[in-house]
Amino acid sequence: MSAQELIAAAKAASHKLGLATTSQKDNALIELARLLPLNAERILFANEIDLAKGVAEGMAIGLQDRLRLTSARIESLAAALTQVAGLTDPIGEIVREINHPNGLNIIEKRVPFGVIGAIYEARPNVTVDLASLAIKTGNAIVLRGGTAAENTNKVLVELIREALSNAGLDPQAVQSVDEFGRQGAVAMMQAVGLIDVLIPRGSANLIHTVVNEAKVPVIQTGDGIVHVFIDATADAQMAIDIVNNSKTQRPSVCNSLETLLVHRDAAARILPALFENLHGAGVIIHGDHDSAQFAEYVMPATETDWATEYLSLKISVKIVDNLDEAIAHIAKYSTAHTESIITNDQANAERFLNEVDSAVVMVNASTRFTDGGEFGFGAEVGISTQKLHARGPMGLTELTSTKWLVRGQGQTRK
């Protein structure tokens, strides 16, 4: 089958999947949660092939971490599937109901999109996350997971389709166009009338390419130039803990810290110990002239650093005079993903929450919490940085649309 034919097969399967009961959909997810650990050896063998190829081709360390699956990560995927199965099914939810004075009953009901397309790279866990959320919401899905994870994704898609079949659902509802390379992605971007919404996840280049070239509707997930601002009143140990976690807990993901802003009145009190902490963890620090005075190993920051998503153990640091300057810097350089303030000043906390225009804005918390699993979604489609339909971590509700049901008794409009 061609890529276009696979997409059309997903469209055909979407109609029945959209009518499946919650029990049927949950059974498919629970079956997949059973199959993943049982096939761990097979999955890991395929993943090792992909990793070896990536290393041979000079894949960045951060991307290798995204690509790598382990027994523990497979178990986590299975646990997430069980969690998604336990979530409330949004399909059929009555969003609002209107009883017209003439007797018409008007209901807005939540329904599946139909077919979701996802283009992503080097993230085999995303294959399972996306498929699980699509199945739970009655959506068919077409996947383009990239050549870096092609062998791993092939096994995962086979297991997903097996789980659907075992649960009595049409396995054609999940398709992969990886075998067609870039042409598969092009077919998805041009699948007007077949793919209802397309979601890119990955590098800024991938996301921008999809946004610029797609002829089907796109939900833009964003690259993450993520900021933390240490305010003048910040607790030193809290600041060290949050910055360290935000930067080093998993630096290769989009919610990791990239730029640290520090109030001038807190710099001498906090930066020496904070820099030692980061340096000891292997973080390369790029600082402006003022912050570089606190450690000899701080490298000079350039204008490019403020606009860079490192996705590695690198960080840029800038000292600012006040909250206004911090907010202005974020407004200029942020990708509107996640920003956090560390402060004991309640007024400044509220100003930061209200004035920073990003998808997720935090007070005294690690940016690593911007995640569908941490928000209670079980898994996530991605982090939307746009403002139409969905914003922030996208879970089940964000994979639905609505339609209006009108019931009458012969009414005509006057």
Which helix (H) or strand (E) segment holds residue 180: the answer is none
Burial 280-310 (b: 16+ CB within 10 A, else e): eeebebbbbeebbebbeebeebeeebbebbb
129 and 205 belong to one structural domain: yes
How far is it, in rounded angstroms, from Cα 86 to Cα 136?
10
Residue 276's domain comprises 226-369
Q: Which pLDDT score is estimated for 204? A: 78
The two tokens of residue 219 are 């939900």
The total number of structural domains in the chain stands at 2
120 and 177, same domain (yes or no): yes
Task: Specify the pLDDT at position 27.
Answer: 98
Place of tokens 């629970």: 30
State the alpha helices, DSSP H only, in 121-195.
Answer: 124-136, 150-166, 182-189
pLDDT for res 224: 87
Same domain, 303 and 386: no
Residue 376 lies in a domain: no
Same domain, residue pair 242 and 131 = no
Rounded CA-CA distance 2/4 in Å is 5
> Does 318 map to a domain?
yes
**How many of the other CB atoms lie within 10 Å of CB of 83?**
17
Cα 19 to chain centroid, rounded: 27
Residue 414 is assigned to a structural domain of this protein? no
Same domain for 385 and 349: no
Find the helix or strand (DSSP H, E) in which 108 lies: strand 105-112
Structure tokens at 298: 């701080």
The pTM is what? 0.83
187 inside domain: yes
User: How do the pLDDT tens digits run along the chain, 414 residues long?
Assistant: 999 999 999 999 999 999 999 999 999 999 999 999 999 999 999 999 999 999 999 998 878 988 999 999 999 999 999 999 999 999 999 999 999 999 999 999 999 999 999 999 889 999 999 999 999 999 999 999 999 999 999 999 999 999 999 999 999 999 999 999 999 999 999 999 999 999 998 877 888 899 999 999 999 887 789 999 999 999 999 999 999 999 999 998 889 999 999 999 999 999 999 999 999 999 999 999 999 999 999 999 999 999 999 989 999 999 999 999 999 999 999 999 999 999 999 999 999 999 999 999 999 999 999 998 898 887 778 888 888 888 898 889 999 999 999 999 999 998
pLDDT at residue number 302: 96
Q: Rounded distance, CA 177 to CA 208, Å? A: 20
Q: Are residues 151 and 232 in the same domain?
A: no
For residue 47, the model assigns a pLDDT of 98
184 shares a domain with 324: no
Identify which of 249, 273, 269, 261 has the alpha carbon closest to the alpha carbon of residue 374: 249
pLDDT for residue 203: 78
pLDDT at residue 306 in the model: 98
pLDDT attached to residue 293: 96
Q: Give yes or no: residues 282 and 157 share one domain.
A: no
The per-residue pLDDT for 159 is 98
Residues 183 and 239 in one domain: no
Residue 285 lies in a domain: yes
Residue 84 near residue 378, CB atoms below 8 Å: yes
Report if residue 388 sits inside a domain: yes
In a domain, 375, yes or no: no
Same domain, 64 and 95: yes
Residues 17 and 133 in one domain: yes
Instruction: Please identify which residue in the block is written with the tokens 């997409």.
Output: 7
Look at residues 113, 135, 134 and name the one whose alpha carbon lies nearest to residue 23.
Answer: 135
pLDDT of 362 reads: 98
On whether both 147 and 208 belong to a single domain, the answer is yes
Q: What pLDDT, on the 0 to 100 scale, is given for residue 137? A: 98
Phi and psi at 197, nearest 5°, equal -155, 140
pLDDT at residue 242 in the model: 98
* pLDDT score, position 252: 84
For residue 14, the domain's CATH number is 3.40.605.10
